[in-house]
Amino acid sequence: MMLRAATVALASGLACASNGHSADGPPGPPTQGPAVQLWLTTPGGKLLSQEPVIHFASGGAALPTTITVDEGTTYQEMVGFGAAITDASAWLLQNGMTAPQREALLQELFGRNPGLGLSFTRLTMGASDFSLHQYSYDDMPVGQTDSSLAQFSIDSNRAYVLPVVQRALAINPQLKIMASPWSPPGWMKTTGSLIQGTLRPEAYAPFAEYFRRYIESYRAEGVPIYAITLQNEPHYEPADYPGMRLDSPARAQLIGQYLGPLFARSGIGTIILDWDHNWDEPQSPLQVLSDSAAAAYTAGVAWHCYAGDVSAQTVVHDAHPDKDAYFTECSGGEWAPNFADNLKWFVRTLIIDATRDWAKGVIFWNLALDDQHGPHTGGCGNCRGVVTITSGGAVTRNVEYYALGHASRFVRPGARRVASTSFAGDLETVAFRNPDDSSKALIVVNTAAQERTFAVRWSGQSFRYVLPAGAVVTFSWS
User: What's the pLDDT at 32?
Assistant: 86
Domain boundary among 413, 440, 461: 413
Instruction: Compute the distance between CA of residue 168 and CA of residue 336 in angstroms, rounded to an integer.
Output: 30
Q: Indicate whether 332 and 437 sit together in one domain.
A: no
Q: Indicate whether 341 and 463 sit together in one domain.
A: no
329 is a catalytic site residue: yes
The CATH number linked to 447 is 2.60.40.1180
Q: Indicate whether 318 and 263 sit together in one domain.
A: yes
User: What's the pLDDT at 25?
Assistant: 55
Instruction: Compute the distance between CA of residue 114 and CA of residue 164 in angstroms, rounded to an integer.
Output: 20
User: What's the pLDDT at 23?
Assistant: 74
In a domain, 348, yes or no: yes
Least confident of 12-16, 131-135, 147-151, 232-236: 12-16
In a domain, 367, yes or no: yes
Query: Burial of 55 by CB count in 10 Å (0-12 exposed, 13-18 middle, 19+ buried)?
Result: middle
At 12, is the pLDDT very low, low, confident or very high (cuts 50, 70, 90)? very low
Instruction: Compute the distance between CA of residue 415 and CA of residue 238 in angstroms, rounded to an integer.
Output: 37
In a domain, 22, yes or no: no
Over residues 227-248, mean pLDDT: 98
In a domain, 17, yes or no: no
Q: Indicate whether 61 and 116 sit together in one domain.
A: no
Write the CB contacts of 225 (distance below 8 Å, at least 6 apart in sequence): 123, 177, 178, 179, 214, 215, 218, 219, 270
Dihedral Cα 408, 411, 413, 414, nearest 10 deg: -160
Check 108, 209, 329, 451 and give the catalytic one: 329
Structural domain harbouring 194: 79-413
Count of other CB atoms within 10 angstroms of residue 469: 18
In a domain, 283, yes or no: yes
Q: Give the start-end residues of each E strand in 153-293.
A: 176-181, 227-229, 271-278
Tell me the one-letter amino acid at 438.
Answer: S
Does residue 307 carry a pLDDT above 80? yes
Check 209, 233, 400, 428 and give the catalytic one: 233
In a domain, 10, yes or no: no
Q: Dmax over Cα atoms in the chain, in whole Å?
A: 84
Q: Indicate whether 64 and 40 sit together in one domain.
A: yes
Q: Indicate whether 57 and 92 sit together in one domain.
A: no
**Model pTM above 0.75:** yes
In a domain, 24, yes or no: no
The CATH number linked to 103 is 3.20.20.80
Q: What is the mean pLDDT of the chain?
A: 94
Share of the chain above pLDDT 90, in %: 90
Give me the number of domains the chain comprises: 2
Over residues 193-215, mean pLDDT: 98
Which tens digits make up the pLDDT trace of 441-453? Answer: 999 999 999 999 9
Higher pLDDT, 2 or 293: 293
Write the CB contacts of 63 (distance below 8 Å, at least 6 apart in sequence): 453, 454, 455, 464
Q: Indicate whether 278 and 408 sit together in one domain.
A: yes
DSSP three-state, residue 38 = strand
Domain boundary among 382, 413, 444: 413
Q: Indicate whether 66 and 89 sit together in one domain.
A: no
Count of other CB atoms within 10 angstroms of residue 10: 17
Q: Indicate whether 330 and 403 sit together in one domain.
A: yes
Q: Indicate whether 378 and 450 sit together in one domain.
A: no
In a domain, 15, yes or no: no
Q: Indicate whether 60 and 90 sit together in one domain.
A: no
Which tens digits make up the pLDDT trace of 69-125? Answer: 999 999 999 999 999 999 999 999 999 999 999 999 999 999 998 899 999 999 999
Closest alpha carbon to 386 in 92, 142, 163, 187? 92
DSSP string computed for 428-458 = EEEEEE-TTSS-EEEEEEE-SSS-EEEEEEE
Q: Indicate whether 405 and 457 sit together in one domain.
A: no
400 is a catalytic site residue: no
